[in-house]
Structure 1
Amino acid sequence: MNEILLNDLKWEVKGYWPWVPLKGTSMELGQELMGVTDWMPATVPGGVHYDLFRQGWITNPYQELNSLSCEWVENRWWVYRTTLKQPELRAARVELVFQGLDYEASVYADHLLLGEHKGMFEPAVFDVTDLLSGRESLEISVLLKQAPDEMGQIGKTSATFTQKSRFNYKWDFSTRLVNVGIWDDVVLRVHQQCFWDDVSITTDAEFGENDRNQISSGRITIQAGIKRMAGSEDDGTLTVCITCADPEGNPLLVQSRPVRAGELLNAELEIPEPELWYPNGYGKQPLYNLELKLLDEAGTELDTQSFQTGIRKLDYIHNVDSPDNALPYTVVINGSKIYMKGVNMTPLDHLYGNVTVEQYQLMIRLMKAAHINLVRVWGGGIIEKKAFYDLCDVNGIMVWQEFIQSSSGIDNIPSKQPEFLELLHKTACTALCDKRNHVSLTVWSGGNELMSEPNKPSDSSDSNLAMLKELVEQYDPQRLFLPTSASGPVEYITDAKGQGHDVHGYWKYMGNPYHYELYGSNDNLLHSEFGVDGLSSLKSLEKFLSETNRRPVSMENNAIWRHHGEWWDTLSREEEMFGSMTDLEQFSACSQWIQAEGIRFVLEANRRRKFRNSGSIVWQFNEPWPNVSCTNLVDYYGETKMAYHWVKSAFRPLHVSLDYRSLLLTPSTGFQGDVYVHGGNGRKVEVDAEVFDAVGRCIYQQSFEAEGNKDQAVGAGVLNFNVPEHEDALYFVRLSYQDGDEAPQQNLYVFSTNKKHPYAPALALIGGNLEVRQESLWQPTGAQEKSQQARFTVQNTGSEVLLHIHAEEKGDRYWMEADEQFHTLFPGETKTVTVTCTPKLSGGFLSGENYRITDGLPEIRFMSFLTAQSRMIQVGGEKNRE
């Protein structure tokens, strides 16, 4: 089979009132019925919104309230057209394939109806063999009806009737901006008389009986149908040629065997001393290259398909001390228990057809750098494009894939509507057959927060979920199927012991001290969704808020802020913690601090119970449109928030944490907090604990030592110190430790004796002085094409602590990543930071920020908490003020 990509043909799109394209001419006047718009250049894959914007029909829907004036778009009918020239090829059958039509379509060739299609995730396939015969070209047109009237976040799950991505219709992190268009590739699929069909690849590994670390062999199992074109003659015996190359591309083995069309190929490849695939942080991700060729009796190649796969042994076991009625939540790969360091992912853009491979690369790169090893692809969004899963394979990011259904609030009962079940069945079969060959795929889930009654997750006794379970057992029996997330027996995290197996919640900072009491003593087995909200950076806020709206305000009192994050109003929280918010930069910095603090504590508390708790999956990694405030770690523009970097710290393979139950200290009393070592795998870990005041005086020091354990957190001892007699002061506990040959790592906790506004003293810290030296010129880095890297030294030359020092790229043409962000320096201390900047290459409404060849090198500025000024010393001694 050969595929010819048709995305780059000259596509056009035009909008009509409903039904007009089918009528064509006026019944009364006989004249042509004109469209709502003229014919416009179209992006494929893409969506009509971006094409309308480029032609001036709509304003940018991501800014302020503009999306409200774009809601007419979803209510029109849209026609795409292009001309397909006759390709020079020898074929028994040629198919026109639309990988993603959104949502209900009729497809025509030279005005002849080829067929109709409904659904986003099942390809629309049409035989155009006879139509192409003897013609120089074909006009292809696609009529897309208006988007179905589906529900957003609030509604009745039991009334769901589509497989349309529901976040489009309004969710807590998105607005109503309903995509219509051709959202995935269009290809011409060329078949010979016989071809491969429904290929399934699974892998396994065998270990020594007496030594689980001794690999004896690996196995790649291939099952594939061999299909003969209807009406074609039986060409007799065929030959299958299977080639396997090692991860470096060196030929490893070749198998040939005779087959006949209609047979099912079953082949097992034994790989001696295989290189095993591991999740991120547990080992490497070598991928073997497979090629399946189908030859006729004359040796002519009929069909070839290529795959990359990793060899690994996959198991699931119950947690340590797991209740008898719990599901097996611990993933085991190659005999090693894997602790889930996960994130939940929404679609990268409201208009997901415009997302580029480079945007996927950025997200996966950020996940890998933050030691994340699992991503949950959420059931209210989309089943992502192939490039995403390929990147997860390469980078060791396990995938938890949900089928497309989600809770709706009024009721959360899985839909039993016949139309919905038929569509869900088709989507599930397509997803299972498409994604099962990805070694990164680890868990299937029936959907998001499906509940048979309030706070009680549905299980496989529900007929909807029973159908999905049967399909997983039929098409991908190797993987775990969870009926829904959370999977119960209660939906939400609770103080009650023994009830929280797989739970969700909460999504807010729960206040001091309750946040720490709740999460610090919880006994959940798996925390598959939780988060804390926080504002975007000032740099991002300025991109979609006008100047008059750039001031601290409650979402109750500002419609534009409410439109960009209604649920995530944190003003009262920040005023409780810090006092009055005087400007937007201050509000953003304070909000991001509390978000980071809140999420870090949950991650560390869960990790202290490693493998009683099998992992944490943070809600959410990204956002599909710009929010003033949200629970995301990375904003719409690709800027990482403070919480991302504290998650990165908490997920380090070797980490040291402090267990506490309040941010408030009482003067003249004692503090006690347990110190834990996470990771280390049998080696001795030395921990230095220091307690500082705001001017950098060390008022207490204590050392600890523990032997690290890969399967559980180890208590290193109890930190004890006396709190000085100051009523309005901050105190800093810094835990320092060494991870092999790497630079010493530090984990900092900030406590206060201010009862009214615990972190208010931070706003009065003005004695620090940040001086920055650029130590190296920008140099290309081999990791990313066209990426530039430079090294900086930052120093506090002032008299008070500098909190949360971080770099920012001043322009919009680069995605910036730094190995150290939001760290704290006491007077006289220095730190070296390596910054990498990758040219932006985004799609759709973000493409205006894309790198151009005339753009200069990145411009970096360093800032600390509420301090935007720093003294930069350039390479070679040149000085300037930022």
Structure 2
Amino acid sequence: MEIGNELMGVTEWIPATVPGGVHQDLFRAGLINDPYQDLNSMQCEWVENRWWVYRTRIAIPFLNPEERAELVFKGLDYEAIITLNGIKLGEHAGMYEPAVYDVTEVIRGREFAELQVIFKQAPDEMGQIGKTSETFTQKSRFNYKWDFSTRLVNVGIWDDVWLRILPTSSLGDIALHTDVDEAGTGWIRLAAEIRQPGSRSEVLVTLLNPEGHSVACLVEQMDDGRVHFEIPITSPQLWYPNGYGDQPLYEVNIRLVCDDTVMDERKLYTGIRRLEYSQNEGSPADALPYTFIVNGRRIYIQGANLTPLDHLYGNVCAERYDWIVHLAKHSNLNMLRIWGGGLIEKTYLYELCDRYGILIWQEFIQSSSGIDNVPSQRPEFLKLLERTAVTALKDRRNHVSLAVWSGGNELMSEPNRPSTYADTNLSFLKALVAKHDPHRLFLPTSASGPVQYITREKGVSHDVHGHWKFEGNPDHYSLYGEADHLFHSEFGVDGVSCVKSLRKFLSEPHLKPVSMKDSLVWRHHGEWWDTYDRDKALFGQFESLSQFSDASQWIQAEGLRFILEANRRRQFRNSGSIIWQMNEPWPNASCTNLVDYYMEPKMAYYWTRQSFSRNHFSLDYRKLHYTVGEKLEADVYVHQGLQPAYRSILVEVLDTKGNVHDRNTFRYEAEECSVAKVGQLRFIVPQTDDGLFIVRLREQGEGSAQTNDYFFSTLEQAIYEPALRIEPASLHIETVGDWVGASMPYGMKSTVWTRTFTITNHGQSVALHIRPEERTDQYWMAADASFFSLFPGESRVVNVSCLTRTGELFKHLQESVSTDIRPDIAFRTFGSEQLVISNGAKVKT
């Protein structure tokens, strides 16, 4: 301004990825080190405190005289100044409300235009330790440090940008709702707004069934800028959540026609279903409705909380969304809670959940802050919140997977008392939901009370959170086994990541068992989730990182399984469980996640998959250790799926050599979607060589591989220590056929590779917690069975699926995937550093 010279800047102009973020671009230009490695993120905090400029040259299409042009930024993060050809279009603050500018006169008659976006430094918002009442932005709060993330504040264009050419009249907001009446007729109800309608405007709606055949075609005239359709569908193909039926989607084509010319068109996909809510069985009169009903069938919620897929969320590619939703379906989940401290996610995630049958619990961008949790009443915040909420409501309401809105995460007007509809902030949001999406439930917050945290006190728990740790033996089992809450919308147990992942972000000096009290690096990657002392008390000293990781994951899986089974045994007095958490946005050494940052499923993931299976058996016990000669009594339950059954369960008590010390058979007749106690296991705890004994529940019947193993001890201290001393497993691996490639479901372009393996235990002792591992590290992997145990002479067939690993941040270019390499699968057992490949050969990790 003063001397006419352009400032050269802190960096040179460098290539930018859009959508994306500044950090990844700086890394690719060699200007920062990998912030996910060791303590490096602390050297990157300067990035959020600078102003950044994006600049590009765009080609301009020819504009007819009656056409207009809009420049649309779907996601600017966070506060930006936008210019085009040096003309200031405006300033924008907020991640979720699109910035839209009419640029017709700026670009008309031009072939090119220079677009510039200046991002101011990131706002100094509250992290997890702060005051919710002083929140003033709609920026993702986890960026500022949470228990599963560091402080690494994203800056950049995090969602799509496009130049939109509009005719004189165009389609505006669309509202789509489906229903099923008592006669079984399906209904699609559609409302559309028209911007600048012409004198002879009409809207044409064509409906295609899931097979692509036309089932309806309607035309409506308009004169007030709005049009409404009610489309009946006889014998509709109904949409159900995962585990309860299929997810057929109807295609809805909407065309705006003026004077026989198509001016604008939209294409939406929807499922036909009736969504209702009711109080739980035995629910207090003042309780909110926590039972979800789809097409007249009660749905027991089997969910997980979804955090953003990456700390730098603008760089998340479609394939990572594909795989995380695939993993959700694969683990028998039917709901994801999109947490209020993270994101209102990109549209693609909701489309995937529509296709996979994953219900969505969507929170608005508000969260607790530790010091106070009172919803902000600041006028400038409420204005931003309204804009975010209306944008989200108008877009996400059209997704059949969306099941419920929530005001935010853990909002409390006083300690341990969740905020209610009486709060000004939340009553305001409730009114917005009633206006823009009246068919869906709005909950004031999660948990919604009347007490916040799980408690041993009876009669006061409706929807609760907690806890997030293994509560100890036997306290964990008495707390969760005797709880009476109606809904459990957040809880978890922590566990260390697998060694394969730890090696990717911890340098060699830090690859050893350690308490976070003694390691700044481990503390930086998951300070809240230190399990070292817990695991050492249960297993004794660890000789390797593999032993520590395996032991920690065992207790995470054990603790989580008990909570899930205990909640499920009270179906529909308890109407569901939502695990904290499905994933993590950056690599933690330890966390409460089921799937780590590198998409490696942990032991807890597979035990969750089993606990949520449609036909399942569970054991109700109250501790992990017993004295020799003590009588052990535990109830046996069956959790039945969509079909009634008359079967029998074989319950055996075995030692680690496979010797049977007790055997019982329980026959049962179960109705569909039911839970029933089928008997009580009673036996005298045996003396075993190493102090361990296993109770195995197994469905009887030819070809049945369904088992559920519970591990107990007669030791007083380090009760699971003998598991580290079991003689090395002698596994024999046979491959069945070659790798077979197939497209991902629903037309996704990615190829999934599958192969079958047969694993046999040729040893003299149990092979504990057998799981496959992909060795090339060029694929994500999931299996239909993992972390299972085989006694001597037993075999199991395992099907493995792999998808090309892509989109991970801060990988060097030379690490790109070779399309010629197929997955390479080996198998590992508990505590071992040896991988077993085909025909029993062993290799060192």
Paired residue for 1:218? 186
Equivalent position to 2:682, from 717, 720, 726: 720
Query: In the alignment, what sits opposite 1:273?
Result: 235
3-state secondary structure, aligned to 1:332: strand
Where in structure 2 are the equivalents of 1:561-600 lying within 5 Å?
561-600=522-561
CA distance in 2, matches of 1:235, 1:803: 72
Question: 1:497–1:727: structure 2 CA closer, same or farther, 3 Å change rule?
Answer: farther
- Which residue of structure 1 aligns with residue 400 of structure 2? 439
Residues 8-407 of structure 1: pairs in structure 2 closer than 5 A: 25=1, 27=2, 31-90=5-64, 92-208=67-183, 216-228=184-196, 235-260=198-223, 262-297=224-259, 299-407=260-368
In structure 1, how many angstroms separate the alpha carbons of the residues matched to 2:185 and 2:688? 65
Offset from partner CA, 1:345-388 (integer Å, 9 cap, x none): 00000000000111001000000011100000000000000100
Measured after TM superposition, the shift of residue 413 of structure 1 is 0.2
1:257, 1:449 → 2: CA distance? 45
Tell me, what secondary structure is at the counterpart of 2:609? helix
Q: Is the 8 A contact 1:493 1:524 kept in 2?
A: yes
Matches within 5 A, 1:669-688: 669-680=630-641, 681-688=643-650
Q: Runs of 5+ in structure 1 lacking a partner?
A: 1-24, 209-215, 229-233
Q: Measure the CA separation in 1 of the matches of 2:427 and 2:57.
A: 45
Contact in 2 for aligned 1:796/1:830 (Cα 8 Å):
yes
Q: Which amino acid aligns with 1:107?
A: I
Instruction: Choose the corresponding residue for 1:837, options 791, 802, 809.
Output: 802
Code of the residue aligned with 1:249 in structure 2: it is G
Answering whether residue 596 of structure 2 is matched by residue 635 of structure 1, we say yes
User: What one-letter code is carried by the residue in structure 2 that aligns with 1:808?
Assistant: E
**Alignment partners' CA distance in 1, 2:132 and 2:497:** 31
CA distance in 2, matches of 1:847, 1:789: 28
Question: Which amino acid in structure 1 is aligned with residue 773 of structure 2?
Answer: E
Shift of residue 861, structure 1, vs aligned partner: 1.1
**Aligned ranges 1:810-829 → 2 under 5 Å:** 810-829=775-794
Structure 2 CA distance for partners of 1:318 and 1:139, relative to 1, 3 Å: same
TM-score by length of 1: 0.93
CA distance in 2, matches of 1:811, 1:240: 54
Q: Deviations over 1:232-273 (max 9, x none)?
A: xx741212111000011111111123223x332111000010
SS in 2 for 1:363: helix
Please say if residues 127 and 144 of structure 2, whose CA atoms lie closer than 8 Å, have aligned partners that are also in contact: yes
* Pairing 1:476–2:476 present: no
Looking at structure 1, the residues matched to 818 and 400 of structure 2 have their Cα atoms a distance apart, in angstroms, of 37
Are the aligned partners of 1:730 and 1:753 in contact in 2 as well (CA < 8 Å)? yes
Amino acid at match of 1:279: P
State the distance in 2 between where 1:430 and 1:846 align: 34
The answer to whether residue 693 in structure 2 is matched with residue 731 in structure 1 is yes
Following superposition, the deviation at residue 670 of structure 1 comes to 1.3
> Runs of at least 4 residues of structure 1 off by over 4 A?
846-851, 878-882
Match for residue 548 of structure 1?
509
> Per-residue CA shift, 1:790-816, capped at 9, x if unaligned?
111111111111100000001221011
Kindly tell me: are residues 786 and 263 of structure 1, through their superposed partners in 2, closer, same or farther at Cα, counting changes over 3 Å? Answer: closer
The separation in 2 between residues aligned to 1:481 and 1:538, in whole angstroms, is 42
Q: Distance in 1 between matches of 2:565 and 2:842?
A: 41
Alignment of 1:503-542 (within 5 A): 503-542=464-503
* Aligned with residue 663 of structure 2, among 682, 701, 724: 701
Q: How does 1:840-851 map to 2 (within 5 A)?
A: 840-845=805-810
Deviates more, 1:87-96 or 1:318-327: 87-96
Question: For residues 650 and 124 of structure 1, what CA distance do their matches in structure 2 show?
Answer: 45
1:855 deviates by 4.3
- In structure 2, the gaps of 5 or more residues are none
> Distance between the aligned counterparts of 2:4 and 2:81, measured in 1?
24
Please say if residues 769 and 870 of structure 1, whose CA atoms lie closer than 8 Å, have aligned partners that are also in contact: no
TM-score, reference length from structure 2: 0.97
Partner SS, residue 280 of structure 2: coil
Q: Which amino acid aligns with 2:432?
A: L
Matched, 1:805 2:770: yes
**Structure 1 residue 709 displacement after superposition:** 3.1
Q: Is the 8 A contact 2:826 2:836 kept in 1?
A: no
Give the secondary-structure state (helix, strand or coil) at the position aligned to 1:512. Answer: coil
Say if 1:151 and 1:160, in contact at 8 Å, map to a contact too: yes
Q: CA RMSD in A?
A: 1.6
Q: CA deviation at 1:510?
A: 0.2
For residue 779 of structure 1, report the CA deviation from its aligned partner.
1.9
- 1:609 partnered with 2:609: no
Letter in 1 for 2:837: M
Residue 8 of structure 1 is matched in structure 2 by: none
User: May I ask how many residue pairs the two structures share in their alignment?
Assistant: 838
Q: Which amino acid aligns with 1:327?
A: L
Q: Aligned with 1:816: secondary structure? A: strand
Q: Tell me how far 1:780 sits from its aligned partner.
A: 1.4
Alignment partner, residue 742 of structure 2: 781
SS at match of 2:770: strand
Check whether the contact 1:727–1:754 (CA below 8 A) recurs between aligned residues. no
